[in-house]
Amino acid sequence: MGLLDGLRAALGLRAEADAKRDADPDDLFGMSTAYVTMEAELGYESLDVGALCFSGVESSRFRDAVDEVEAILEAGKEETGTEFSVSADDHGYHWVILEDDNPEDLITSIHFAADTFVEHGYGSRLLAAVFAYDERASTDVRGVAYWIYSFRRGSFYPFAPRTDRERDSSVEFKLEAALDGELEIERDKEYWYPLWPSQHGTHPWE
């Protein structure tokens, strides 16, 4: 199974077939308390960036939905200060990338974008929301970790990528234990799918 097929299986068609309940963009607001726990108890700081991953469809109606997402984010930029861009990755998926040094505004903006797709009838095109964190230890060792929300599963899971496409399972299990009860955690680790960046990228959307 190739990378693209794996993503489709883990976050797409198979996840939809095995879904426990309909995903709800309101679930994203769970990150409003989770980011406090990440910083206060685990030493992870928000990287002030998050992203929404979706699969496109060739239709004018879908293009209109994307245009409205951009219009809503542009209109809210003056109030929230959230910067955004829309791009496609090497695997053919599309991303709304948002940056804001206020985690609450970042979460709200991602929710607005996701909710707009749902209102236009394209909730099934939403794959994942990604929130980025960085661990800053006293030894200056830094490790990036992500919380990923699967729209098809209606649940979160941690992802701690390291060099050479390795992942730090011990960090992921630590994050799972710390946030269990605060976030709806994906219990089936088969769905903890790694969202690797492209060859020269840093984050999953690059």
Q: What is the CATH number of the domain that holds 41?
A: 3.30.70.1130
Q: Which residue range forms the structural domain that includes residue 22?
A: 3-191
Q: How many CB atoms lie within 10 A of CB 57?
A: 12
Phi (first) and psi of residue 181, to 5 degrees: 100, -25
Global pTM exceeds 0.95: no
User: What does each of the 206 residues of the chain score in pLDDT, given as a tens digit?
Assistant: 334 444 545 555 554 555 555 668 999 999 999 999 999 999 999 999 999 999 888 889 999 999 999 999 999 888 889 999 998 877 778 999 999 999 999 999 999 999 999 999 998 889 999 999 998 754 444 689 999 999 988 999 999 998 888 999 999 999 999 999 999 999 999 999 999 887 777 899 98
In a domain, 25, yes or no: yes
Residues 204, 169: Cα–Cα separation, whole Å: 18
Is residue 52 within 8 A of residue 113, CB to CB? The reply is yes
Domain membership flag for residue 206: no
Quote the CA–CA distance of 203 and 195 in Å, as a whole number.
9
**Does residue 86 lie in a domain region?**
yes
Query: What's the number of domains the chain is made of?
Result: 1
